[in-house]
Amino acid sequence: MNTNTTAPNEVVKECIDTCNSLLRGELSAVETYQKAIDKFDDDVFVTQLKDLQRSHMDSVSELRKHVIEMNGNPESDSGAWGNFANGVQSAANFFGDNAALSSLEAGEAYGQKDYENALEKDIMPEARALIQTTLLPRCRRNQEILDALEEAA
């Protein structure tokens, strides 16, 4: 990415803040998927959940790279939201497979809304393109996979 040096500093700062917020969400998703993976014994479910977790790891890498290219400091942990999401996933795991999958699906829906909200902000074209062409479609695909897993559970 070639950062737009003519972009006003406020736009760059808003874009870094937005990408870091999305990054915290993705870090939280990686952690939450690990909790769910640890819960399941079925190899088919574990394989699918690991694939979904990897998609979030890819999003983490892309967002980090994007923040660095804007001369920002990428977030390194999921923060308070990650602690909350992990607690919710732990509770859902206790109630069984469907509850665990439903919790992951709710997290994906929340992430999708975060990406949609980010597109409404004054962000740089490179960030907008990354969200529209890669991150948001990936999130939607994850939801479809979780729907299928829930039906199979």
Q: What is the pLDDT of residue 2?
A: 44
Q: Give the percent of the chain with pLDDT over 90.
A: 61
For residues 81 and 99, the model is more confident at 99
**What residue spans define the domains of the chain?**
9-152
CA distance 84 to 73: 24
Nearest to 16 by CA among 81, 57, 75: 75
Contact 46, 104 (CB under 8 A): no
pTM given for the model: 0.87
Most confident listed range (15-19, 27-31, 147-151): 15-19
128: confidence class by pLDDT, cuts 50, 70, 90: very high
From first CA to last CA, the distance across the chain in angstroms is: 42
Provide the token pair at 16.
Answer: 């870094």
For residues 151 and 91, the model is more confident at 151
Pick the CATH number of 9-152 from 1.10.3720.10, 3.40.50.2300, 1.20.1260.10, 1.10.240.10: 1.20.1260.10
CA distance 117 to 112: 9
Q: What is the pLDDT of residue 33?
A: 92
